[in-house]
């Protein structure tokens, strides 16, 4: 596709300028961008209104409209996000190791920008500025392909960000928005190996699946979280309740919310009534296995499919297991390798769970809701990787860099 080839070529050309840019200059771009977004909020809101009206006329509703809609307050918070990224340390240039070989060669491993990052996302205009901030900070050129419902909003935001780049002396093409929002442009992007170093899909499970199944550009897979809490025999009763209620209900629509509760058979009869009552008081529907349904009268029987499901809703599947091994086997079979937690006072079981559960983040005695770049202390986040290559778990600025070996010689040959 001509547009993507052209944009890919331009992105590749600006890389050297982004590489040469000092941390000071990159931070200046982010702060200038924040100021310009605030100053021009009315322009953005006007374009956003057109997008929202078109979406509503097109029959889109509910959460999708909410995510598409901008307000002055939301634009302020987007601007604050950029300022926050500006205040973080620049990972580019960090030498993570340096050693001397017996032949005198000095080998250093240094963090460098990845190059050109492609992002495919849905109708969420806040992602536009967010990704821009993370990419510029790490010296990467970005090509954005957002959802068509948000095109006017994205376009007005991108125009302001590109002007800010130029104003500060960096190429505007460091950030490019794909104008063709057809399915074809997304597919073309997934094959743009010549120009894209990586492709990150941000959005729902469907989008991510499409990208993983079609992309030949290396993908960072983010998102799906079918997370479990396992209540062991020795678990503290009140801690168990607190953690389960928090992990399930504090924000049920996000990937690190818990979807499934496993409980040791020895304490099920004692603990389940209280836990389920607490969940019910928060309007959580309980889908239990046979033994759970006997203990909890208002539980409905869980189907096999429920154990695999990320509900993203006030629904929790509940299963009684015989011990920590049973719990681990269940999680490794049905889980999505995102975040898993055990509540226990038993040392050996806590160690076993941490060791044998295959997931990006494994907790003892804490809510799964902490799997997040900000909660981990990274200061920013581009997503939560559920794949094993490159980065696993919350991805901060460091994960948007690659490495280069720099080797200092004095005439060495083999």
Catalog residues that contact a second copy under the rule CB under 8 A. Answer: 15-16, 19-20, 99, 101, 105, 107, 114-115, 193, 197-198, 212-216, 218-220, 236, 239, 242-243, 246-247, 250, 332, 354-356, 358-367, 369-371, 375-377, 387-390, 392-393, 402-414
Taking the complex as a whole, the smallest distance from the CB of residue 243 to a second copy amounts, in Å, to 6
Q: Where are the alpha helices (DSSP H) in 58-197?
A: 63-68, 72-86, 125-137, 151-168, 183-190
Nearer of residues 185 and 367 to a second copy, judged by Cβ: 367
Taking the complex as a whole, the smallest distance from the CB of residue 103 to a second copy amounts, in Å, to 8
Cα torsion angle, 108, 112, 115, 118, sign: positive
Nearer of residues 50 and 412 to a second copy, judged by Cβ: 412
Q: What span, in angstroms and rounded, lies between the C-alpha atoms of 227 and 209?
A: 19
Nearer of residues 83 and 236 to a second copy, judged by Cβ: 236
Taking the complex as a whole, the smallest distance from the CB of residue 218 to a second copy amounts, in Å, to 4
CA-angle at 175, arms to 171 and 178, nearest 5°: 130
Nearer of residues 41 and 353 to a second copy, judged by Cβ: 353
DSSP 3-state assignment of 114? coil
Nearer of residues 43 and 312 to a second copy, judged by Cβ: 312
Nearer of residues 300 and 354 to a second copy, judged by Cβ: 354
Parallel, antiparallel, or unpaired: how do β-strands 227-231 and 339-343 relate? Answer: parallel
DSSP 3-state assignment of 135? helix
Taking the complex as a whole, the smallest distance from the CB of residue 42 to a second copy amounts, in Å, to 35
Closest CA relative to residue 51, chosen from 127, 136, 144, 154: 154
DSSP 95: E
| Residues with Cβ within 8 Å of residue 152, at least 6 apart in sequence | 47, 48, 50, 51
Q: What is the DSSP string of 239-281?
A: HHHHHHHHHHHSSTTSTTSEEEEEEEHHHHHHHHHHHHHHHHH
Nearer of residues 111 and 124 to a second copy, judged by Cβ: 111
Please say whether the beta carbons of 68 and 127 come within 8 A.
no
| Residues with Cβ within 8 Å of residue 365, at least 6 apart in sequence | 239, 243, 341, 342, 343, 344, 350
Please say whether the beta carbons of 11 and 195 come within 8 A.
yes
Taking the complex as a whole, the smallest distance from the CB of residue 322 to a second copy amounts, in Å, to 17
Taking the complex as a whole, the smallest distance from the CB of residue 172 to a second copy amounts, in Å, to 21
- Which uninterrupted H or E stretch holds 229? strand 227-231
Taking the complex as a whole, the smallest distance from the CB of residue 168 to a second copy amounts, in Å, to 21
Nearer of residues 291 and 330 to a second copy, judged by Cβ: 330
| Residues with Cβ within 8 Å of residue 305, at least 6 apart in sequence | none
Nearer of residues 283 and 412 to a second copy, judged by Cβ: 412
Q: For the chain, report the end-to-end CA distance as a whole number of angstroms.
A: 46
Taking the complex as a whole, the smallest distance from the CB of residue 355 to a second copy amounts, in Å, to 7
Which residue bears the tokens 């999680």?
Answer: 331
Taking the complex as a whole, the smallest distance from the CB of residue 363 to a second copy amounts, in Å, to 5
CA-angle at 189, arms to 125 and 36, nearest 5°: 30
Nearer of residues 205 and 300 to a second copy, judged by Cβ: 205
Tokens of 95: 């030498």
Taking the complex as a whole, the smallest distance from the CB of residue 401 to a second copy amounts, in Å, to 9
Nearer of residues 307 and 363 to a second copy, judged by Cβ: 363
Taking the complex as a whole, the smallest distance from the CB of residue 381 to a second copy amounts, in Å, to 13
């Amino acid at each position: 596709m001509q547009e993507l080839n052209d944009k890919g070529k331009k992105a590749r050309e600006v890389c050297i300028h982004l590489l040469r840019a000092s941390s000071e200059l990159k931070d200046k771009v982010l702060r200038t961008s924040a100021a310009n977004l605030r100053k021009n909020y009315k322009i953005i809101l006007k374009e956003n209104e057109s997008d929202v009206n078109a979406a509503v006329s097109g029959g889109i509703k509910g959460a999708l409209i909410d995510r598409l809609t901008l307000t002055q307050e939301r634009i302020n918070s987007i601007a604050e996000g950029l300022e926050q990224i500006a205040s973080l340390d620049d990972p580019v240039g960090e030498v993570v190791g340096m050693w001397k070989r017996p032949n005198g060669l000095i080998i250093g491993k240094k963090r460098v920008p990845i190059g050109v990052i492609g992002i495919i996302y849905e109708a969420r205009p806040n992602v536009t500025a967010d990704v821009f901030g993370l990419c510029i900070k790490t010296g990467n050129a970005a090509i954005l392909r957002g959802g068509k419902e948000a095109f006017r909003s994205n376009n007005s935001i991108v125009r302001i960000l590109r002007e800010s780049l130029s104003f500060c002396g960096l190429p505007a093409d460091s950030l490019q928005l794909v104008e063709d929002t057809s399915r074809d442009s997304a597919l073309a992007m997934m094959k743009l190996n010549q120009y894209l170093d990586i492709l990150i899909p941000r959005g729902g499970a469907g989008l991510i699946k499409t990208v993983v199944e079609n992309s030949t550009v290396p993908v960072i897979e983010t998102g799906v979280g079918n997370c479990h809490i396992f209540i062991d025999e020795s678990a503290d009763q009140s801690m168990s309740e607190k953690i389960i209620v928090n992990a399930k209900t504090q924000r049920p629509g996000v990937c690190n919310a818990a979807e499934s509760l496993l409980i040791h058979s020895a304490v099920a009869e004692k603990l389940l009534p209280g836990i389920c009552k607490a969940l019910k008081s928060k309007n959580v529907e309980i889908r239990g296995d046979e033994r759970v349904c006997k203990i909890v009268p208002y539980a409905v029987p869980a189907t096999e499919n429920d154990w695999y499901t990320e509900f993203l809703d006030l629904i929790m599947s509940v299963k009684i297991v015989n011990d920590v091994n049973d719990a681990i086997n269940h999680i490794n079979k049905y889980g999505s390798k995102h975040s898993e937690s055990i509540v226990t006072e038993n040392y050996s079981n806590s160690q076993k769970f941490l060791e044998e559960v295959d997931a990006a983040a494994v907790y003892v005695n804490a809510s799964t809701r902490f799997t997040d770049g900000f909660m981990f202390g990274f200061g920013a986040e581009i997503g939560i990787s559920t794949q094993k290559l490159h980065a696993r778990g919350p991805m901060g600025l460091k994960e948007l860099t690659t490495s280069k070996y720099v080797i200092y010689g004095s005439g060495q040959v083999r």
